[in-house]
């Protein structure tokens, strides 16, 4: 293998420790990193074929089924339902498997806002820990404000609960 090919060869990693929410890995160069674990969640329980079709189209990314949260910075969104869907992909440069999560915030009018922001996912998890889940009998819709913050890899989408 040439030196250039060797640089592109996938790094092997080993798991050092694991918790319910994270995995700590060490690569062959001795560098440690923490990888978050994500959970699938859905507060929606479709009652008929029409609702099942709407949900399927949303989860499969139909163009008219949802909006990118990053396009609504500054807006307030009333959230009635929440869906989180974990996914994995292969990093084309390193060959390593990467994990992510899509978070859907759904309004009472069934308007869905989606994002792959890990910050939004963790904010939603913290909100549900404190205020309960949409499937709880005492759930009250929440209102969040969409924010943007400069990050190391560009703008980072965040939410802040305001009501």
Domain of 71?
Answer: 38-161
**Torsion, CA 117, CA 42, CA 114, CA 77, rounded to 10:** -100
Q: Taking a C-beta distance cutoff of 8 angstroms, is the pair 136, 43 a contact?
A: no
Are residues 53 and 23 both part of a single domain? no
Total structural domains in the chain? 2
Give the tens place of pLDDT for each residue, 102-127.
999 999 999 999 999 999 999 999 99
Q: What's the DSSP call for residue 10? A: P
Secondary structure class of 90 (helix, strand, coil): strand
Give the tens place of pLDDT for each residue, 56-104.
999 988 667 789 999 999 999 999 999 999 988 887 887 777 788 999 9
Are residues 33 and 47 both part of a single domain? no
Are residues 19 and 91 both part of a single domain? no
Are residues 58 and 84 both part of a single domain? yes
Assign 3-state DSSP to the chain and report helix, strand, coil percentages, each to 5. Answer: 20, 40, 35
Q: Taking a C-beta distance cutoff of 8 angstroms, is the pair 162, 143 a contact?
A: yes
């Amino acid at each position: 293998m040439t030196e250039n090919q060797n640089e592109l060869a996938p790094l092997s990693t080993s798991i050092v420790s694991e918790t319910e929410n994270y995995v700590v890995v060490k690569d062959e160069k001795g560098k440690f990193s923490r990888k978050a674990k994500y959970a699938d969640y859905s507060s929606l329980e479709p009652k008929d074929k029409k609702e099942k079709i709407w949900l399927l189209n949303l989860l499969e990314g139909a163009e008219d089924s949802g909006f990118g949260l990053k396009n609504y910075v500054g807006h307030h969104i009333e959230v009635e339902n929440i869906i989180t869907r974990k996914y994995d992909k292969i990093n084309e440069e390193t060959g390593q498997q990467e994990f992510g999560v899509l978070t859907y915030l759904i309004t009472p009018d069934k308007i869905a806002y989606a994002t792959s922001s890990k910050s939004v996912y963790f904010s939603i998890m913290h909100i549900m820990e404190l205020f309960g889940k949409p499937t709880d009998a005492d759930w009250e819709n929440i209102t969040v404000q969409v924010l943007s913050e400069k990050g190391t890899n560009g703008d980072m989408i965040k939410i802040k609960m305001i009501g």
